[in-house]
Amino acid sequence: MTAAGSEQRLSNKILDANTSAYSRQTLEGRILHLGPGAFFRAHQADYFNQLNIQEPKWGIDAISLRSRHIAEALQPQDWLYTLELRDETIEYRTILALQGITPLSEYTPRAFLNPLLSLVTLTITEKGYCLGVDGQIDFAHSDIVHDLAEPEKPRSALGLLLQGLRVRRVQGLAPPVILCCDNLSANGIKLQGALTTLARAQEPSFATWLEDNICFPSSMVDAITPATDEGVRNRVQQSCGYYDAMPVQREAFTSWVVEVPDGVQLPPLDRVGVVFTPDVTPYAQAKLRMLNGAHSTLAYLGLAHGARTVSEAVSNTYLRGVLNDLMRDEVAPSLHSPADFDLNGYREALLKRFSNPALEHLLSQIAWDGSKKLPIRLLGTISDNLDAARPIENASLGVAAWCRFVVRRAQANEAIIDPLAENLATLGCRCTHNATTDIQRFLELREVFSKDLTESPLFVESLTRAYEKVVNIEREKRIFP
């Protein structure tokens, strides 16, 4: 096969030579997306791609907040890329809906000035919202400090949204709906709160306008999406006959649930499988605590066992048992699910999805940004179960495994990918593998552990026992120390 940069690289020319699902010429910039990483391109963009087969007008423009590499890879491909669906059978789709990506360094507010713009979506990860452990905007965050000082040169997604909406208001254009698609409980409410709080600090009258005119629906998104690697690039080249510098891969299963308030007009995504509901909370809580909580537990505990991927880790009888017990005995009782939501069936389906041998989902990828993920994925379950006198053993094991992950990385002088990386590295190097003293050090992280948890003897005792257990697992598996 030919290499990158040759005439056989994916492009409009290659697309025109094959059967295309629809014409890109009729697409309009009706969608603006912040954070066009692998998950967005494998999930939401695919839904719009399917909608365009029925009604080809839903074009997507995107702004990349942290990196230029996706834009640099896709621009020579006319913003086309390949989606690989990996299950018992493999399927390839060419995604045509994306019309361009602008790196933040080249951003101008004109992205918000398209009169047809009706929806702004975000996948910027939990840390991208600059929130504290209380779910409120963190005014000490360096990006927020910058955006308060220089609002015309935003660094944060919040600052960028404010500047774009302000310009759109001045031009008299209709306000778009703003839809958060990240793993935050009540994500629309949290985004609205953070944005209006920042606006109030910049310009109080504009905050009032936001509250009166902008709708922030909450949503839940679900699809296991491993990072792009050379394996998927090679498979695309062999199967599709062209080189794609930035394809994406995911499992065949996908879900998107959006809370739609009365009178709010969204693109008709319900035609292609998106669930519109008056209340997304039970769906989001089930996904965050069941899937994401189990995923994080498996990542940290699996790494302590020497496993590399999700499917490898879940094939371990002990680890599979921990996940099953966590979801059945600790997470499910904490959920208020709809009457027609089968939690037992959901748990069994998740274990099957985790076991998918066609997906090489690295545990190290899931382990990133633990300080932001754990409060949402595991600590909420623990807090609710403490209040209700329910068990917390397996959830504590997931948290303790994260602590040990930090210690191993720090003491091996390996990078920790986390907003608190510097603090975590210092903390990890101070640890002595004594459960009592090490856990006390971690509990001082107010960005992670709430005061209620740190003052709960039951939680401290459970976490200490779990930490000892993980240390023993490391020694047994000769991982560390």
Averaged confidence pLDDT in the chain: 94
Assigned token pair, 40: 């967005």
The helix/strand count (H/E) of the chain reads as 22, 11
For CA atoms 270, 276, 280, 282, the dihedral sign is negative
Kindly report the pTM of this predicted structure.
Answer: 0.90
Would residue 66 be called left, alpha or beta, if left means φ above 0 and alpha means ψ between -120 and 50 degrees?
alpha
For CA atoms 380, 383, 389, 391, the dihedral sign is positive
pLDDT exceeds cutoff 60 at 226: yes
Place of tokens 């507010």: 109
In tens, the pLDDT along 423-436 reads: 999 999 999 999 99
Q: 341 or 448, which is more confident?
A: 448
| Among candidate residues 47, 44, 53, 61, the one with its CA nearest the CA of residue 23 | 53
In tens, the pLDDT along 133-185 reads: 888 999 999 999 999 999 999 999 999 999 999 999 999 999 999 999 999 98
C-beta of residue 276 within 8 angstroms of C-beta of residue 270:
yes
pLDDT given for residue 16 in this prediction = 73
For the segment 112-124, the average pLDDT, to the nearest whole number, is: 96
Kindly report the CATH class assigned to 12-277.
alpha beta
For the segment 25-38, the average pLDDT, to the nearest whole number, is: 95
For the chain, the structural domain boundaries read: 12-277, 281-477
- Between β-strands 219-222 and 255-259, what pairing exists: parallel, antiparallel or unpaired? antiparallel
Spell out where 1-108 has E strands.
Answer: 28-34, 58-64, 81-86, 90-95, 98-103
C-beta of residue 419 within 8 angstroms of C-beta of residue 127:
yes
Q: How many angstroms separate the Cα of 309 from the Cα of each of 4, 222, 295, 297, 358?
A: 29, 19, 11, 13, 11
How large is the angle between the packed helices 317-325 and 393-411, nearest 10 degrees? 130
For residue 386, give the H/E element and its range: helix 380-387
CATH code of 281-477, in short, is 1.10.1040.10
Considering the chain, what percentage of its residues have pLDDT values greater than 70? 98
Q: How many angstroms separate the Cα of 46 from the Cα of each of 102, 163, 230?
A: 20, 28, 22
C-beta of residue 58 within 8 angstroms of C-beta of residue 27:
yes
pLDDT given for residue 182 in this prediction = 96
pLDDT given for residue 481 in this prediction = 65
How large is the angle between the packed helices 435-443 and 421-430, nearest 10 degrees? 160
Assigned token pair, 427: 């903390």
pLDDT exceeds cutoff 90 at 219: yes
pLDDT given for residue 133 in this prediction = 81
Task: Tell me which amino acid residue 445 is.
Answer: L
| Among candidate residues 281, 373, 376, 385, the one with its CA nearest the CA of residue 329 | 385
**End-to-end Cα spacing for the chain:** 46
Which DSSP category does 172 fall into? T
C-beta of residue 42 within 8 angstroms of C-beta of residue 83:
yes
Q: CA-to-CA distance for 7 and 22, rounded, in angstroms?
A: 23
For CA atoms 223, 99, 24, 169, the dihedral sign is positive
* 472 beta partners: none
pLDDT given for residue 341 in this prediction = 82
pLDDT exceeds cutoff 60 at 1: no
pLDDT given for residue 350 in this prediction = 96
Q: CA-to-CA distance for 314 and 366, rounded, in angstroms?
A: 14
pLDDT given for residue 149 in this prediction = 95
pLDDT exceeds cutoff 60 at 352: yes
pLDDT given for residue 18 in this prediction = 62
106-115, 212-221, 374-383: which has the minimum mean pLDDT? 106-115
* 64 beta partners: 103
Q: Kindly report the backbone phi and psi dihedral angles of residue 233, in degrees, each rounded to the nearest multiple of 5, phi listed first.
A: -60, -45
pLDDT exceeds cutoff 80 at 307: yes
Place of tokens 């939690």: 343
pLDDT given for residue 19 in this prediction = 63
Q: CB within 8 A of 435, min separation 6: which ones?
A: 464, 465, 467, 468, 471
pLDDT exceeds cutoff 80 at 222: yes
For CA atoms 394, 184, 414, 448, the dihedral sign is negative
Would residue 437 be called left, alpha or beta, if left means φ above 0 and alpha means ψ between -120 and 50 degrees?
alpha
For the segment 363-370, the average pLDDT, to the nearest whole number, is: 96
Q: Residues 146, 217, 46, CA angle at the centre, nearest 5°?
A: 90
Question: What's the maximum distance between 2 C-alpha atoms anywhere in the chain?
Answer: 67
Same CATH fold assignment for domains 12-277 and 281-477: no
Which DSSP category does 68 fall into? S
| Among candidate residues 91, 104, 87, 207, the one with its CA nearest the CA of residue 146 | 104
pLDDT given for residue 5 in this prediction = 43
Sheet holding 255-259, edge to edge: 219-222, 255-259, 275-277
pLDDT given for residue 3 in this prediction = 45
pLDDT given for residue 86 in this prediction = 95
pLDDT band at 4, cuts 50/70/90?
very low
pLDDT band at 7, cuts 50/70/90?
low
Which DSSP category does 247 fall into? -
Three-state secondary-structure class, residue 309:
strand
